[in-house]
Structure 1
Amino acid sequence: MTTTTVGHATSHVRTLTQVTDYAEAERLVDRLSDAGFPVERVRIVGIDVYSVEQVTGRLTNVRAALTGAVAGALLGVAAGLLFALFTTGVGWLALVAGGALVGATWGGALGFVTHWSTAGRRDFSSVRNLKAMRYAVQVESTHADDAVHILGLP
């Protein structure tokens, strides 16, 4: 049994089982939910957590500018649509197009300058994720026996 303090409240938790796949831990919690178990008393804890960074490609000044331009254009379209709510007639289209153009221009410039200022220290793009070697499905001790029964655990 583990004692955990969150804020001022202290609760005792019991590990029901450990699995090596997060999807399996989700399935166990889903089974508890389907049985009407108070799943707000359950938690999934990653054990032996590590970071994985997948490199997705080379990052050049041009690519940084293009990525910034796309993000800026999307933000500009959103701003244009917001302003268009207060416009009558076909003027809304000019607001959306203008927003996209201004957003793309500023986003591209910002993307270019931001990457250029790193002086080549990070010339690649990547996606970071946290992974765990295994996952513990835990439940507050007062509800542990019910959870064990529902899941058919020893």
Structure 2
Amino acid sequence: MSMSVSMPLGGVQVGSYDSYEQAQAAVDFLSDEKFPVENVTIIGSDLKQVEKVTGRMTWGRALSAGAAGGAWWGLFVGLLLGMFSEDGSNWLGSVFTGLLVGLLFGALFAGMGYAATRGRRDFTSTSRIVAGRYDVMCDPSRAEEARASLARFSLRG
């Protein structure tokens, strides 16, 4: 019967930082120092979702966003249809028709989607997941070497 000691995910901690950019800079420093960074892991802890409200959602905004997205898809389909048409004479017509049909259907579907919410979410936002702390972890066999390099990194400023 063999005994094993449980090791945290990613190895042992060799550094801890307040932002991902700082942790990334530390690993980049290790790489510059020719440390084998394939032994390193960055782990974010204390996760939270941050949602930034960017504006008010209105009928005009919903319809224009849907029309714009639909126009791009319509343009793409129109270009494909135009490229594979038997004669190249109606290429521009295919592109223009695809653009218009995409614009109309995009606005229509966006309007239906906005109407279905019945005003329960009348704002636009972006969201992201951020961590409260970023730990740089390392394989135990290389941990002391990583700690020594990161000590020089922290003295650097």
Q: TM-score over 0.5 for the alignment?
A: yes
TM-score, normalised to structure 2, is 0.80
2:8 equivalent among 3, 7, 13? 3
2:43 equivalent among 42, 45, 61? 45
**5+ unaligned residues in a row in structure 2: which ranges?**
1-5
User: Is residue 62–residue 112 contact of structure 1 (8 Å, CA) maintained in 2?
Assistant: no
Measured in 1, the distance between the counterparts of 2:48 and 2:83 equals 46
**5+ unaligned residues in a row in structure 1: which ranges?**
5-11
Measured in 2, the distance between the counterparts of 1:16 and 1:30 equals 14
The structure carrying a bigger helix percent of its residues is 2
Shift in Å, 1:90 = 4.9
The number of residues matched between the two structures is 147
Whichever of the two has the greater Rg, that structure is 2
Root mean square deviation, CA, Å: 2.3
Counterpart for residue 63 of structure 2: 65
Shift in Å, 1:17 = 0.7
Q: Is 1:99 aligned to 2:98, yes or no?
A: yes
Measured in 1, the distance between the counterparts of 2:38 and 2:79 equals 39
Q: Deviations over 1:37-72 (max 9, x none)?
A: 343332221121111111111112221111111011
Counterpart for residue 114 of structure 1: 113
Any idea what SS the aligned residue of 2:8 has? strand
User: Is residue 25–residue 136 contact of structure 1 (8 Å, CA) maintained in 2?
Assistant: yes
Q: Deviations over 1:97-131 (max 9, x none)?
A: 22221111111111111011111110111000112
Measured in 1, the distance between the counterparts of 2:75 and 2:92 equals 10
Measured in 2, the distance between the counterparts of 1:79 and 1:95 equals 9
Q: Give % identity.
A: 38
